[in-house]
């Protein structure tokens, strides 16, 4: 499909598979690599005085695995063909650290022209398209169609195309690879052995092909999306994982214009600008991916908990941004991946009304068969973003229960304590919440994922 660029002129420049000719003010350039002339209302115009800026996209070495050929009517960039200078990008990132998303977007589009594209997932990163639109510059948008998206997401893609008068460039997984995966392991193997293999086939490899046709790409990553993996995302960086059209390490630049923007501010921007949004958001979805691997989040949950919810917190990246994962990041046991002690030292659930239970303390609590007071205890890991997300509601619960006959405690169950917690305390994933009744030895596990104060209080009142 063709990507069109706006101009005040009524003359259009397009590419056709037919021979070169001029007819009724329409200039057609021949190329066997391009699709037939797009005469839809979304096909916009370029002025004649800019025609010299348009270049045949197959002037570059032919790349069958890139998304470049589908953007047949976009500007050529004013970019020198050379490898990315790491020092220049670091300096640029420092200069733009406190810049607005609009300023960052404008700089990205100015610098890379046709060789940069916005990665659009169908979620709140539609804000990127709105920022690009506000710059008044031509821009490109691509998306990965995994074949497993929600119907609402497909409808949203269509709405966005019509709203902005653009064509989204879709990338699809290799049919042979998908067929082999499904025939060998079934449609839902990711529930059993993790999502990484499926994401690699349906998302990472198509993205890799797409990025080989670019010098830079724009993502909707924010620091507050995932405290464990995205807290240090810069506004611009040399992509640590993927390669661009020049090939080799450092050949691709990654722009993150909303890295420093909070999720609430993104939504305030979307509402203010009356930007169309995915209807799934109204159903409690925040982070939106493939249908089998995405669900709505509940009160007290972190937004990324709606993705791959059956896995531990360490696995909340699909592979598109795996450069965020550092070797020193904590693993599922709360230790560093390199075997050294985790650098995460800060504790959570800090309150005078939350009792910090040691290993002997929790063991004594488990052994008691006739407690004077019931206990509510959370099994947690301070590095877990989902534990962090429920911190405020749990502390509020403890404050409400203070002096009301129910003790509230916490037990850090990662690291060396994880095996014990799994065997004796029903730990499945973080956080796990237990209620110890007055006259029962075995704790009762809180099964719901609603971790707001009202839901937790209802659970307590039903048991005490």
Question: Active-site residue among 198, 199, 318, 387?
Answer: 387
Q: What are phi and psi of 433, to 5 degrees?
A: -115, 130
Alpha helices (H) along 186-297: 190-193, 196-199, 205-211, 263-272
Query: Which residues have CB under 8 Å from 251's CB, separation 6+?
Result: 83, 84, 215, 243, 244, 245
Query: From its phi and psi, is residue 95 left (phi > 0), alpha (psi between -120 and 50) or beta?
Result: alpha
Query: Which residues have CB under 8 Å from 326's CB, separation 6+?
Result: none
Strand ranges, E, within 305-426: 355-356, 375-380, 407-412
Q: Among this protein's residues, is 318 annotated catalytic?
A: no
Question: How distant is the alpha carbon of residue 298 from its chain centre?
Answer: 18
Q: For residue 30, what is the enclosing H or E element?
A: strand 26-30
Strand ranges, E, within 279-427: 355-356, 375-380, 407-412
Closest C-alpha to 294, from 118, 412, 123: 123
What does the angle CA 190 – CA 191 – CA 193 come to, to the nearest 5 degrees? Answer: 60
Cis peptide bond upstream of 83, omega within 30: no
Q: Among this protein's residues, is 199 annotated catalytic?
A: no
Closest C-alpha to 169, from 110, 112, 125, 211: 211
Q: Which residues are catalytic?
A: 384, 387
């Amino acid at each position: 499909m063709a990507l069109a660029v706006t101009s005040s002129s009524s003359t259009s420049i397009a590419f056709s598979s037919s021979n070169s000719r001029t007819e009724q003010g329409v200039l057609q350039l021949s190329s066997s690599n391009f699709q037939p002339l797009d005469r839809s209302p979304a096909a916009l115009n370029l002025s004649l005085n800019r025609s010299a800026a348009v270049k045949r996209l197959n002037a570059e070495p032919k790349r069958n695995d890139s998304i470049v050929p589908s953007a047949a009517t976009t500007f050529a960039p004013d970019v020198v063909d050379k490898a990315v200078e790491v020092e220049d990008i670091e300096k640029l990132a420092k200069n733009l650290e406190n810049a607005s998303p609009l300023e960052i977007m404008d700089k990205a589009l100015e610098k890379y022209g046709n060789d940069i594209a916005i990665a659009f997932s169908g979620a709140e990163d539609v804000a990127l398209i709105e920022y690009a639109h506000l710059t008044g510059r031509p821009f490109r948008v691509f998306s990965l169609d995994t074949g497993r998206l929600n119907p609402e997401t497909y409808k949203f893609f269509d709405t966005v195309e019509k709203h902005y008068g653009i064509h989204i460039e879709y990338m699809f997984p290799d049919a042979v690879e998908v067929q082999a995966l499904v025939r060998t392991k079934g449609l839902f193997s990711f529930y059993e052995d993790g999502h990484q293999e499926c994401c690699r086939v349906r998302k990472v490899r198509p993205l890799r092909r797409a990025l080989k046709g670019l010098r830079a790409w724009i993502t909707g990553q924010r620091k507050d999306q995932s405290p464990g993996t995205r807290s240090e995302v810069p506004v611009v960086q040399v992509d640590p994982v993927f390669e661009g059209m020049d090939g080799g390490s450092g050949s691709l630049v990654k722009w993150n214009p909303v890295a420093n923007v909070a999720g609430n501010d993104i939504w305030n921007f979307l509402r203010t600008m009356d930007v169309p949004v995915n209807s799934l958001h109204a159903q409690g979805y925040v982070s939106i991916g493939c249908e089998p691997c995405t669900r709505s989040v509940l009160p007290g949950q972190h937004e990324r908990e709606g993705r791959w919810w059956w896995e531990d917190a360490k696995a909340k990246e699909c592979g598109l941004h795996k450069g965020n994962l550092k070797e020193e990041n904590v693993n599922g046991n709360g230790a560093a991946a390199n075997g050294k002690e985790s650098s995460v030292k800060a504790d959570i659930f800090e309150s005078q009304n939350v009792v910090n239970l040691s290993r002997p303390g929790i063991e004594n609590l488990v052994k008691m068969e006739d407690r004077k007071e019931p206990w509510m205890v959370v099994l947690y890991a301070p590095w877990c973003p989902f534990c962090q997300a429920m911190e405020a509601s749990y502390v509020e619960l403890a404050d409400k229960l203070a002096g009301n006959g129910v003790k509230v405690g916490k037990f850090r169950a990662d690291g060396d304590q994880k095996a014990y917690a799994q065997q004796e305390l029903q730990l499945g994933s973080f956080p796990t919440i237990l209620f110890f009744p007055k006259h029962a030895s075995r704790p009762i596990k809180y099964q719901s994922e609603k971790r707001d104060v009202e839901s937790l209080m209802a659970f307590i009142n039903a048991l005490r």
